[in-house]
Chains A and B, each alone.
Chain A
């Protein structure tokens, strides 16, 4: 066993045995303590009965005094032991001796009535409650010694006549031995049962403890997992922020470099040749270029802010047709590309966040315009239908080159772009804003035939204005 403990992991059978033994001892200790207390009560009862018999019984004279002195002694010892040392081995052996002597005292007080001898058997049966064969032995030895002494010294008071023949003494002894055997047998049976019960309880307890340990482990693992998940999300967020910063940084560098170059040229020109600057065609050209590139920078930054800002939409009644007009007006026109507002005048007024939805329309229309192959005429149309308890369906349709099938699933992902200049945020912003309106956006496309972006807003979310 020590080897197992040295190994650090005590085997389950050892743990079970130890625990069963402990439970058995605990149970037995409780039973014996209880029995001690029962005997304490019995002792007091016997004391009272003893005095009663001494006073009213057949014997007279010094009997009363003897009963009082001996009885008090025989009762006080076990009562004190049961009070101060319940469950201790010494207590029950003291109880056994005193109980056997009580039998003797009662027999003496009744002048050796045969019926009073039954008190011995009753006592032995009672002592069997201790489930301890040795206690029965102590009581039996005490009784035997008592019989032998009294049988030879005071036979009158013991057998109710002259000292008996040997066979009568042997018969007495036989019956005591017989009941002892029966009681020892039953004691051992009870102990065996107690042990079995203890083993079963130990098994149960161990199983429960294992379950609890498992539950705790599971709990711990779950907590760890959720912590790890949070960590992962943070890491992913950081990675996304890093990616975003890199993408935006690169996007900003080119326009900034151009602005820097223009500024350097203008300031040098003005320092070196202020008179010539008036006629230099590069001065207005570069001023225009600076404005254009700075606008590009501003656009990139505002895209980024739109993407980063999680503003919930402020819904208010917002007629769609004028909003589409506004959006089309913002998109830089391109030669050969016509943009049509196909939203009917009669369309019911939906509830929208005007700013956000204009941004959605601008991004979609601008993408459509830019998707048109160079040197070919094309058409971009914005259509809408729905309202009156029907979901709203807003479509942006172009007849451009279409979107390749391998690109299509990725177009709403942030930082995905096919343009040479672009942060890859436009459609991600669109998808985000549509979602915040409670709607969905989808795209279908056919090579060389064009693409169609479809926004569906639920009738409830963008409820018709009263």
Chain B
């Protein structure tokens, strides 16, 4: 069922001032059956966005004129739901942290593996949501509200059972999980998610330090652990970072 979603053609706006990079990436995207709109700078990208429907924006950060992060901000003002993936050749870019905190889907470091880039862009195009799991309803709802302020779509559930059912729908790619819950605990949920081979990145959050639990979830791989209270900026950055990682589940199914 996910395969169908993955190959659904998307309309991608590709923004890069480096022509050779832009045309080769565009060719790869088109080869997969997607429609690619090319822009050589930020201004041109904004113009194209107004004129044509676009599912996802893929933009370089360092460009003359309107740079990638500024472009991201403009897009988020107009259309908070529009997924934006950034690319950069500079690993230590101050702009990267800002971009991650301001609602970029993720940042791809150049040069990237084309398959991984395609996979990331398509996941972004599906506009997946963040699932917040916390038995304290207020906390969960508060977090969902906070995430929506930077344009991240999220939903709150209050038990492990509910979470598992939601994750099976395939609408979520990141799960922010409170480790300490009655009935199904965090580590139990993680092992069930892994057993079902669901392609979900898990960010484990705990109110107090529970090393035993952290060890148990960490042992199951691909988990980010954070301690409450988690600042919004850091949570948003963590979500964007896990979204940039290769997704074993999906990739394994496709290749």
Contact = CB atoms under 8 A, between A and B. Distances in A.
B20 A256 contact: no
Interface in A201-255: 250, 253-255
B115 interface: yes
Contact of A257 (B21, B27, B64, B115): B21
Contacts of B115: 264
B111 interface: yes
B24 A253 contact: no
A268 B111 contact: no
A253 B111 contact: yes
B98 interface: no
A292 interface: yes
- In this complex, the member of A254, A256, A257, A289 whose beta carbon has the largest number of chain B beta carbons within 10 angstroms is A257
A257 B31 contact: no
A261 B21 contact: yes
B61 to A, nearest CB: 12
Contact of A265 (B27, B90, B112): B27
A262 interface: yes
Interface in A284-308: 285-286, 289, 292-293
Given A289-B20, A293-B20, A253 B28 contact: no
A268 B31 contact: yes
A335 B196 CA distance: 63
Interface string A421-458: 00000000000000000000000000000000000000
B31 A265 contact: yes
B89 interface: yes
A420 B64 CA distance: 10
Nearest to B24: A261
* Secondary structure of the A contact surface, majority rule: helix
B28 A257 contact: no
A250 B114 contact: no
B18 interface: yes
Interface residues of A, number: 22
A258 interface: yes
Looking at chain B, what size class is its interface with the partner chain? 10 to 19
Contacts of A250: 89-90
A338 interface: no
A260 interface: yes
Given A253-B111, A272-B31, A258 B24 contact: yes
Contacts of B20: 254-255, 258, 289, 292-293
Contact of B27 (A253, A255, A272, A286): A286
A272 B20 CA distance: 23
A286 B21 contact: no
Nearest to B111: A257
Given A250-B89, A250-B90, A292-B20, A256 B111 contact: yes
B114 A261 contact: yes
A431 to B, nearest CB: 28
Interface string B1-34: 0000000000000000010110111011001000
B110 interface: yes
A262 B24 contact: yes
A264 B114 contact: yes
A282 interface: yes
B246 to A, nearest CB: 15
Interface in B109-132: 110-115
Contacts of B112: 257, 260
A253 B89 contact: yes
Contacts of A268: 28, 31
Contacts of B25: 261
Nearest to B25: A261
Contacts of A256: 111
**Which of B20, B90, B110, B113: most chain A Cβ within 10 A?**
B20
A268 B24 CA distance: 12
Interface in B12-64: 18, 20-21, 23-25, 27-28, 31, 64
Contacts of B110: 253-254, 257
B31 A254 contact: no
A258 B18 contact: yes
A286 B64 CA distance: 25
Given A260-B111, A264-B114, A254 B21 contact: yes
A213 to B, nearest CB: 50
A177 B6 CA distance: 132
A195 interface: no
Given A257-B111, A292-B20, 16 more contacts: A250-B89, A253-B110, A254-B110, A255-B20, A257-B110, A258-B20, A260-B111, A260-B114, A261-B25, A262-B24, A264-B115, A265-B24, A265-B27, A265-B28, A268-B28, A293-B20
27 contacts: A250-B89, A254-B18, A254-B89, A256-B111, A257-B89, A257-B110, A257-B112, A258-B18, A258-B20, A260-B111, A260-B112, A260-B113, A260-B114, A261-B24, A261-B25, A261-B114, A262-B24, A264-B114, A265-B24, A265-B27, A265-B114, A268-B31, A269-B31, A285-B23, A289-B20, A289-B24, A292-B20
Which A-B residue pairs are the 7 nearest by beta carbons?
A261-B24, A264-B114, A257-B111, A253-B89, A258-B20, A257-B110, A265-B27
Interface of A: 250, 253-258, 260-262, 264-265, 268-269, 272, 282, 285-286, 289, 292-293, 420
Interface of B: 18, 20-21, 23-25, 27-28, 31, 64, 89-90, 110-115
